[in-house]
Amino acid sequence: MVNSGGSSNQPGIGLSYDVTPLAVHINEDFGDNGGFFNFLSTMIGIVGGCFVTISLFAGCAIQSINSVAKKMD
């Protein structure tokens, strides 16, 4: 039950999502030849993770809007 701030409790789900800034720290060893590829794979992972997260939230928002629009018709 989610407390709506009033005297009655309304059924529902409370969600919170913490979006913190992302930082990439690169520690390269001069004897290692894979430094650039490590950097590249890290960047691809971060960009891919952000894309998937945003796509999930956008899909949920669009689905919610469409279901509300159907109920209003």
pLDDT digits (tens, 9 = 90+) for 45-73: 999 999 999 999 999 999 999 998 888 87
What confidence tens digit (pLDDT) does each residue in 37-48 have?
878 888 999 999
Contact in structure between 35 and 28 (CB atoms under 8 Å): yes
Residue with tokens 């409370």: 14
Beta strands in the chain (DSSP E): 2-3, 9-10
pTM score above 0.85: no
Contact in structure between 49 and 22 (CB atoms under 8 Å): no
